Amino acid sequence: MIEILKQHIAQVEQFSSTSRDEIENFRIKYLGKKGLLNEFFAAFKSVPNEQKKEYGQVINQLKTTATEKVNDLKVALESTTISEGKYGDLTKPGDPISLGARHPISIVKNQIIDIFSRIGFNVSEGPEIEDDWHNFTALNLPEYHPARDMQDTFFVQTNPDILLRTHTSSVQIRYMEENTPPIRTISPGRVYRNEAISARSHCFFHQVEGLYVDKDVSFADLKQTLQYFTSEMFGKSKIRLRPSYFPFTEPSAEVDVYWGLENEIDRRITKGTGWLEIGGCGMVDPNVLSNCKIDPDQYSGFAFGVGIDRITMLLYQIPDIRLLSENDVRFLEQFKSAL
């Protein structure tokens, strides 16, 4: 029996192949569940006691030799396959490259930036983790001001002075602190509010806020700027400004664009009125300018803000805001052809 094992060892050592099927058959022959090694191990009990030690050593040698042979042949086969794939038939068509798609939020944000860049607005950015001064106090919202309750805020538990910004107005404060008028900038970015997540609202969303500070800036300048934006963005130039309240602007207004009532979708999204609210605006409060070391007697300005998520849902008829943050490839692939 020992001699038979040694003969198999010699056969294993001499075996060579470049065929994947032959190598697999060889592995099954020796190392498979019904292979020769299992038969030799099963015969161990019938080996005379004086030969058991030598028999065990030889059978283990056969197992080791067969295992190493299979592994070596597989490695050699893989390296040959890679080499042939790299320098083989160059007439074969290449593998198709899957094209990615811009996120709809990015598409709309870039469109907004492009529209305002044509009239001289630059882009400013700031941190999403903000301090109380830039997010509230400098914006005419001192501590314990009741208007702070308008924005349910995520505070950092270990430091109540640190929070997730509730609007990108904090970026405007930082920009005014570091720059002197004339100032003309927009601040797109992600903001956070502690709100229940539903089809219409989320705990984080995207805004773009604009700021213009210079001498003799008037409310008429603000209206013309918004009218230009709605005309370029939606192809609709009819807007209206409804009186409202924001702590950092005075006077303040809500911005509505006349969407129309041409179909059932128009009636649904405008609740049958034809008018659609897209954001808020107003003249910068003199206290805000003073907090940023800008003389309110010499300069005035206006500010406005619109929700990027809401505009995206309008333009692409997206029924649920949660689709914008779930990273569902089936949803995102629909925007491959978008600019």
- Residue 213 burial (CB < 10 Å; 0-12/13-18/19+)? buried
Instruction: Give the model confidence (pLDDT) of 286-308 as tens digits.
Output: 999 999 999 999 999 999 999 99
**CATH no. of 104-335:** 3.30.930.10
Largest CA distance in the chain: 111
Half-sphere exposure in the Cβ direction for 166 (13 Å, CA): 23
Instruction: Give the model confidence (pLDDT) of 184-234 as tens digits.
Output: 999 999 999 888 888 888 889 999 999 999 999 999 999 999 999 999 999
Instruction: Give the model confidence (pLDDT) of 62-116 as tens digits.
Output: 788 888 888 888 888 777 655 555 556 677 777 777 777 889 999 999 999 999 9
Q: CA 4 to CA 56: how far, in whole Å? A: 13
Distance from first CA to last CA of the chain, Å, rounded? 76
- Regarding pTM above 0.75, the answer is no
Q: How much is the pLDDT for 159?
A: 81
Confidence of residue 259 (pLDDT cuts 50, 70, 90): confident
Instruction: Give the model confidence (pLDDT) of 3-52 as tens digits.
Output: 777 777 888 788 888 888 888 888 888 778 777 777 777 776 777 777 77
Domain locations in the chain as residue ranges: 2-87, 104-335
Contacts of 272 (CB under 8 A, 6+ apart): 261
Lowest mean pLDDT among 46-55, 133-142, 155-164, 299-308: 46-55
